[in-house]
Structure 1
Amino acid sequence: MTATTLPLGEAGAGAGAGPSAAADGPARGRRRGGRARVLLRRLGFYLGTAAVAITLNFVIPRLMPGDPASVILNKLSQRAQVTPATEKSIRALFGVPDQNLWQQYLHYLSQLAHLDFGVSTAYFPQPVSELIAQGLPWTLGLVSLTTVLAFLLGTGLGIVSGARPGSRLDSVLAPLATFLGSMPYFWVATMLLLLLSVNLPVFPSQNGYDLNLEPGFSLAFVTSVIAHGFLPAATIIISSVGGWLLGMRNMMITTVAEDYVSLAEAKGLGRGRILLAYAARNAMLPQVAGLAISIGTVVGGSLLAEAVFAYPGIGYLFYQAVVNLDYPLMQALFLIISLSVLVANFIADSVYVLLDPRTREDA
């Protein structure tokens, strides 16, 4: 009988004692070493990418014609008196004419190390770092919750749809997923706003909570946060669940035809165990890789959704910065968003390395 490929985690099941068991220790050590080498290589790649993003954030304002720092300082001086500390901070971020580029870069890195992004021109005299600290938790909560829900919902429906391709349920879910996946975030947000906030005033149309309430862990405040966040969350889930469903469905169709699934059926294992422990477990690996790739898209979609619903996160801050030509805030948000996407991708990439041994075979 020819050797049969077993699903992940099943290859060593039933191995007896003796020489093979004695070799398990060194084999486990090699596997751990392989994982560590792969993770270190990927960490180096992401650190290099982060360095490029930080450098671009430094270079782009200095490629602008004229002296951006002087323009920003002039705009600030029209509202209030600019202190020497504020002027020093702005010039460190946007250029000092009498310093060479290397000195400016070192000052810029020093400012970033102290989380000093200057003063916002749109919200003067509030520092940019305070604005980001206020908006970042809202965006992180929205993106993390909606990404997990869309992933679980789409993956679960994809398992059901791909387990019986061509069935009545599959003939409904597959076209529906294609339709949902083709809808842009901005359009979905606008339609939900018109349907469930303007025509049918079921949910609030803007803000993150009722401004008449005192922020805290009271039932009234938590209920208000959920009500105000429902439409932005629904926008992201509706726009992204179709991609997860189609990806999992297609992988399930391929996986259920594998030899190890046929072997499990020949052994008389239950249909549910075969689908979950054999087919779905292996078909889910590309989904994890897709999670890393899609994080940037989800973040971009959340920015659009926040702008439509005036949700008090990073997206709405970015919209206000663009409208008001708030360059310090725009520069800081560009860097924060870039680094956040890199961190999320590294986490998803690391999880994939831990789940799939094939990614570290050549380590």
Structure 2
Amino acid sequence: MRHLLRRVIFYVAALWASVTINFILPRLMPGDPIQAYVANLRGQGNITEATLQALRVQFGLSDAPLPVQYFQYLTNLLQGKMGVSISHFPSPVLSVIASDIPWTLGLVGTASVISFLLGTLLGVFVSWRRGSLLDTVAAPLLTFFSAIPYFWLALGLIYLLAFRNSFFPLDSGYDTTSDIGPSWDPVFIAGVIQHAILPATTIVISSIAGWMLSMRNSMITTLSEDYVHMARAKGLSDRRVMMAYASRNAILPSITGFSMSLGYVVGGSLLTEMVFSYPGVGFDLFNAIHHLDYSLIQGIFLFIALAMLAANFISEIVYMLLDPRVRNERG
């Protein structure tokens, strides 16, 4: 319990630091979001000073001293206010992120979980049967695919499976030509799944080797431990020794990596969403940087930081459940 309390205090402090850094960094960036917005309005008439001031108020910008802005920023955060997005004007930043997150979690989150599960299971089996055909073929083959630059792998799959053979759509997250908008309609859901298969496959192929090799190396070390030899000497089945004794302890180092990957899920896979023009947080972050949409950049970075902290905290809890040494930690 004392260990958990210390970790809670640490994450509260880390949260405050993340919020503070997120406030400071955009104000150190060159340029003015109002001027960037006005530049996109050229040819639409003269912009008066009163209009510029109204835009500053609309976008939540202030000329007040920095400490005053900081406390106003904290107050707005507690009220769920993150400003107005320039690139999605007049939509609030929170509503833009809220509309992006389901797409990102559905694609990147699902692909990350599938990659972790498949890679971990493969790591368990190839380490248990070292020197077998599976160990000899699977590890080098998957490592080869993971070594291919991600965007080349994505473009190659698009060319072979979408452009040349039309097995899958080329871009977007759903059929934009259909009269059916985003809904729970079975036809729309089927279209979403069809559009997600190719980018999800790219993510799985590029990341599965890392999970497999991590688990394989951890399992090889664990299999030499005394308690594993003792379990075998007791006459326990290979399946029970492998799953209940060896893999349960060998998976602990992978949990931290997986929790961090889940944190990055909220940020989206930037390259994935760019290559496939897939709607999501990563694609909106790219557009926000292009349009100097500081409010949206700031909001997305804050969500990424919160997701990372939450994912690491969850990994701490899982560690406590799986490893009694952490639960019994003193001091």
TM-score w.r.t. structure 2 length?
0.88
Residue 59 (structure 2) aligns with: 90
Q: Aligned partner of 1:284: which letter?
A: I
Distance of 1:299 and 1:236 partners within structure 2: 15
Counterpart in the other structure of 1:45: 10
**Per-residue CA shift, 1:215-240, capped at 9, x if unaligned?**
32222111111101111211221121
Question: What amino acid does structure 2 have at the position aligned with 1:219?
Answer: P
User: Normalised by the size of structure 1, how large is the TM-score?
Assistant: 0.80
CA distance in 2, matches of 1:129, 1:84: 23
Cα separation, 1, equivalents of 2:58 and 2:5: 35
| Partner of residue 236 from structure 1, selected from 178, 185, 203 | 203
In the alignment, what sits opposite 2:330?
A: 362
SS of residue in 2 equivalent to 1:166: coil
Change (3 A) 1:70 1:204: closer
Mapped partners of 1:86, 1:346: distance in 2:
39
The alpha-carbon distance between structure 1 residues 209 and 48, as it changes in their structure 2 partners (threshold 3 A), is same
Task: Give the whole-Å Cα distance in 1 for the aligned partners of 2:73 and 2:272.
Answer: 32
**Deviates further, 210-219 or 246-255:** 210-219
Paired residues of 2:107 and 2:200 also in contact (CA < 8 A): yes
- Tell me if the contact between 2:33 and 2:294 (Cα under 8 Å) persists in the aligned partners: no
What residue number does 2:70 align with? 105
Query: 1:252: how far off?
Result: 1.5
- In the alignment, which residue of structure 2 is the partner of 1:174? 139
User: Is contact 2:104-2:265 (8 Å) kept?
Assistant: no
CA RMSD of aligned residues (A): 2.5
1:225 corresponds in structure 2 to: 192
Whether the aligned pair in 2 keeps the contact of 1:292 and 1:349 (CA below 8 Å) is no
Percent same amino acid at aligned positions? 47
Q: Alpha carbons of 1:46 and 1:310: their partners in 2 closer, same or farther (altered >3 Å)? A: same
Contact 2:124 2:219 in 1 (8 A): yes
Match of 1:340 in 2: 307
AA matched with 2:35 = V
Following the alignment from structure 2 to structure 1, what is the Cα–Cα distance between the partners of residues 188 and 83? 32
What secondary structure does 1:225 align onto? helix
The partner residue of 2:280 within 285, 304, 313 is: 313
Distance 1:76 1:130 in 2: 22
Are 1:73 and 1:90, in contact at CA under 8 Å, matched by a contact in 2? no
Q: Does 1:71 align with 2:25?
A: no
**Residue identity in the other structure for 2:56:** E
CA distance in 2, matches of 1:108, 1:77: 28
Which whole-Å CA distance do the structure 1 matches of 2:260 and 2:253 have between them? 11
Question: Larger radius of gyration, structure 1 or 2?
Answer: 1
Match of 1:185 among 125, 129, 150: 150
**1:150 paired to 2:80:** no
Q: Post-superposition shift, 1:187?
A: 3.0
Matching residue within 322, 327, 342 for 2:289: 322
Amino acid at match of 1:330: I
> CA separation in 2, counterparts of 1:231 and 1:199?
14
Size of the alignment, in residue pairs? 323
Q: How far off its partner does 1:75 sit?
A: 4.9
The CA deviation at 1:154 is 0.5
Write the distance in 1 (CA, Å) between the matches of 2:261 and 2:34.
39
Give the unaligned 5+ runs of structure 2. none
Alignment of structure 1 residues 47-62 onto 2, 5 Å = 47-62=12-27
> Is structure 2 residue 178 aligned with structure 1 residue 210?
no
The answer on 1:199 being equivalent to 2:158 is no
Distance 1:85 1:112 in 2: 22
1:30 aligned partner: none
- Structure 1 position 72, deviation (Å): 5.2
